[in-house]
Amino acid sequence: MPDFFEGGEALARDLGAADTAVVPAAGHLAPLEQPAAFCDLLVDFVRRLRR
């Protein structure tokens, strides 16, 4: 749904986040629907926080 993507991009922009990500084959429950992909994104995010 386009409004979900637009809302996510706006939120990332307003919060000063570097980028947004879409987890393929996942809806709004990405951690449950695609746990490995979500975990990879989360670990990458946390690693970037240390820099």
Residue 24 is given by DSSP the state T
- What is d(CA 48, CA 28) in angstroms, rounded to the nearest whole number? 24
Tens digit of pLDDT per residue, the chain (51 long)? 678 888 888 888 898 866 788 899 988 899 999 999 999 999 998 888 876
- Residue ranges of domains in the chain: 23-51
Collapse the DSSP code of 27 into the 3-class scheme (helix H, G, I; strand E, B; otherwise coil) and give the result: coil
How many Cβ atoms sit within 10 Å of the Cβ of residue 12?
A: 14
How many Cβ atoms sit within 10 Å of the Cβ of residue 4?
A: 11
Collapse the DSSP code of 19 into the 3-class scheme (helix H, G, I; strand E, B; otherwise coil) and give the result: coil
The per-residue pLDDT for 5 is 82
